[in-house]
Chain A
Amino acid sequence: MLKVKDIDVFYGDVQVIWGVSFHVKKKEIVSLIGANGAGKSTILKTISGLLRPASGEVLFEGRPIHTIKPFKLIEMGIVHVPEARRLFVEMTVEENLDMGSLKAEAKKRREQTKEMVFELFPRLKERRRQIAGTLSGGEQQMLAIGRGLMSLPRLMMFDEPSLGLAPILVKEIFNVIKRIRDEGTTVLIVEQNVKQTLSIADRAYVLENGRIVMEGTGEEMLRNEHVKTAYLGV
């Protein structure tokens, strides 16, 4: 479904991604893991068009997407749930959700999708008229995911969805991500919470200093010595 081919990405003159290639198949959960500054967010931003690769290609269902404008990606079914949530903090919960469903098809089914999101996160329903900026961290993450779902995505990319959440909430969020996949959406997830991520991921890639150094299934990774010492702290 998604194919990243040998991309180099720069911030100005500084190269942070070096010849990265990976792919995500339909209905998979694929995870990119790596330490702070490894380049995980950079890769997601490149896929969603906010950054351009200096070389290499990004293909979605065989079509190159690294040359089209970022606002058009949502129409193709790609949504990015960005790092640190990036909500519209002065809008209400419901307005944020509405902003997630701007493309025609999603707009038609807006109310229906909203009900689904509220079913997934009942807390959001109670707080639908609350200003997003006043939500707790966990609620904001739910809203960010909900807003992403509103576009009826086929590929959903999560950037550290568990960041700053209590363990119990982390579990809930991962369960939701699994459910999203089970209902047919492909998932690409970037995380530092390596153990939990690997346990729900079908496949994973390890990113170090902007290069992919390892790949395998979630289980394989959990058993791998390097992953264990470097990321699981055992």
Chain B
Amino acid sequence: MRKYQPYIMLLLLLLLPLFGLSTYMMHILILVIMWSVIGMAWNLLGGYCGQVSFGHAAFFGVGAYTAGILYFKTGISAWWGLPLSVVIVAAEALIIGFICLRLRGPFFALATLAMGEVLRVTAENLRGFTQGALGILIKERTWVEKTWYYYIIVLIAVGAFVLVKKIIESKLGYYFVAIREDQDAAESLGINTTLYKTIALTISAVLTGIAGAFYTNYMGYIDPEIVFALHDISIITIMVVMVGGVATYWGPVVGAVIMVLLAELIRSLPRIGTAHQTLFGILLILIIIFLPNGIVGDYPKIKRILGFRRRVGTTS
């Protein structure tokens, strides 16, 4: 039964649009799946390889701008930004990796954070190239309907899921975990830690960049404040994985569902407006205290607590 779980899930995903969901529901689904992709990407680097990045917006943004600038400068469909972003973001990851991967732990985290911010400021100021704060608008949207956007992001997500799973189950996965657990020991046992960290970073970055390029196509408008956002991209990425479960296959998916729904919920509350970041912060603290391994990682614990409650209920 467990073996078929992913296939059932896939079938469900493919059939979902046939149920005639509202446009709003489809929009939420697309966001959830897009965030799953970003979460899976971050999880590969942060969860499995132990290199916690606070700057994944750097890759999301460059992916998004690859599609945007391609369209804006040449008039070619922004969809070509997806394959092109693979190349551009991979190159970007190699450069950022070269700078940041020599640092460890909190220093790596801070360096990636800085990278994201540097790119945001750069995108704001290179007006001739990026349109600066004006942003880039995709004037001819490919579809009005959401269905095809949905299928495209499902395809990307399935690809990302399979890729991450295959990597983690291969020898690469063992190397990543060894680096996370003890980089010096891994190095002493013959693992070229610089090389494997670079591989993890590059794959993670490319997947995030593809999500960014998709975002441009889907939303039809990008500006630096949105796609290079420290809070709304980099931090939310970490939260998706932490809430769902670090270093688990389904964690990013579960985390994406919760974070997207929560964001919608908070946004709909009256008078809360800009306080939503505070609420997210509080949520993160609660998660770290009560579910340090995320919902997927601490699932047995959650089951135990809920099961316990039920039993108490029936006896009283």
Contacts of B189 in A (CB 8 A): 71, 74, 79, 99-100, 102, 147, 151
In this complex, what residue of B is CB-closest to A73? Answer: B188
Asked if A69 CB lies within 8 Å of chain B CBs, one says yes
In this complex, what residue of B is CB-closest to A70? Answer: B187
Interface size on B, residues (CB 8 A): 15
In this complex, what residue of A is CB-closest to B181? Answer: A88
Docked pose: A124 CA to B188 CA in angstroms:
22
Contact A71 B192 (CB under 8 A): yes
Contact A71 B181 (CB under 8 A): no
Interface size on A, residues (CB 8 A): 27
Interface stretch (choices A25-33, A89-97, A177-185):
A89-97
**A91-B177, A95-B174 given; A86·B191 CB < 8 A:** no
In this complex, what residue of B is CB-closest to A144? Answer: B185
Contact A86 B185 (CB under 8 A): yes
Interface of B is mostly: helix
Asked if A66 CB lies within 8 Å of chain B CBs, one says no
Min CB–CB distance A22 → chain B (angstroms): 21
Asked if A80 CB lies within 8 Å of chain B CBs, one says yes
Min CB–CB distance A168 → chain B (angstroms): 27
**A50-B184, A50-B188, A82-B184 given; A71·B193 CB < 8 A:** yes
In this complex, what residue of A is CB-closest to B196? Answer: A71
Docked pose: A139 CA to B70 CA in angstroms:
59
Contact B181 A74 (CB under 8 A): no
Q: When each residue 155-192 of chain A gets 1 if its CB lies under 8 Å from chain B and 0 otherwise, what string results?
A: 00000000000000000000000000000000000000
> Chain B residues in contact with chain A, CB under 8 A?
174, 177-178, 181-182, 184-193
> Chain A residues in contact with chain B, CB under 8 A?
48-50, 69-75, 79-80, 82, 86-91, 95, 98-100, 102-103, 147, 151
